[in-house]
Amino acid sequence: MATAEMNYWLDESCARAFWDQNQAIPYQELLRHTAAWLEPGPGESWLDLGCGAGRLTAELWRLASGRLAAITALDCNPANGAAIAALRQRLHPTPRVDQLRHVVGNFSDGLPQFADSTFDGVVSGLAISYAESKDPATGRYTDRAYNRLLAEICRVLRPGGRLVFSVNVPRPGFWRIFWKSLRGVWKMSRPLRALRNGLRMQWYGHWLRRQAALGRFHYLPIEQIGDRLDAAGFVTWRYRLSYAGQAYLIDARKAAVKQAT
């Protein structure tokens, strides 16, 4: 039975359940919308935060025609390292090991493994909401880790760098995503596995909603997200709805260095 302290994001079975979501219609919509805002340039370095199986990593590589300096794919689940290694072999041109690396890390602790101004861009798909923290005195969940993560992302971005990320809307309707996905399930390469994993994702979605109600995870209104981006140091941001209307896609920018006068 799940407890308030259980973290299914660390389970290999949870990671594998989400590997099929790239074939679902709502996720394909979100992937298209995210890719349209990425604009990676030659020689840039990017961080894929909460990378999962690396769908956004693959988009970065494709959009830049393999001319990125490096992509760092970070995830808390070690099982996704195998997915990133397999992805490397499918990309064209094939990235060197130093051009695409998987890092295991919990972004609830911030991003201490990265120096200031390391990346030109950060992308994150439906992950940032799960930064979690507890008040040691009261034992209650807080939004400290969430706010700190946004500030940490701004810190590791170079001047003028950009953050493109998606997060679920308040009270997300995961069943709405599932039913919309069913329209194309029989066109998938392994439809029965995809259907089984889709049902498992609904079970995880129920857990996520319960934890969000406790304040552990953060499905916030867009106005609150904007306020937190401002406080973290981003100077501009825009958003749109995607993922069958169940996610905000947000593009935030860090200030560029002022020109000398």
Q: Fill in the DSSP letter of residue 260.
A: P
| Domains identified in the chain and CATH numbers | 8-254 (3.40.50.150)
d(CA 143, CA 229): 13
The stretch 1-25 carries a mean pLDDT of 67
pLDDT tens per residue, range 186-220: 555 666 555 565 667 677 788 888 999 999 999 99
Answer positive or negative: Cα dihedral of 257, 146, 110, 124: negative
pLDDT tens per residue, range 72-87: 999 999 989 999 999 9
What pLDDT was estimated at residue 2? 38
Give 1's pLDDT tier (boundaries 50, 70, 90): very low
β-pairing, 247-254 with 45-49? Answer: unpaired
Cβ neighbours around 38 below 10 Å, total: 18
d(CA 131, CA 238): 22
Percent of the chain with pLDDT over 90: 72
Degrees (nearest 5) of the Cα angle 92, 85, 49? 95
Put simply, whether the predicted model's pTM sits higher than 0.85 gets the answer yes
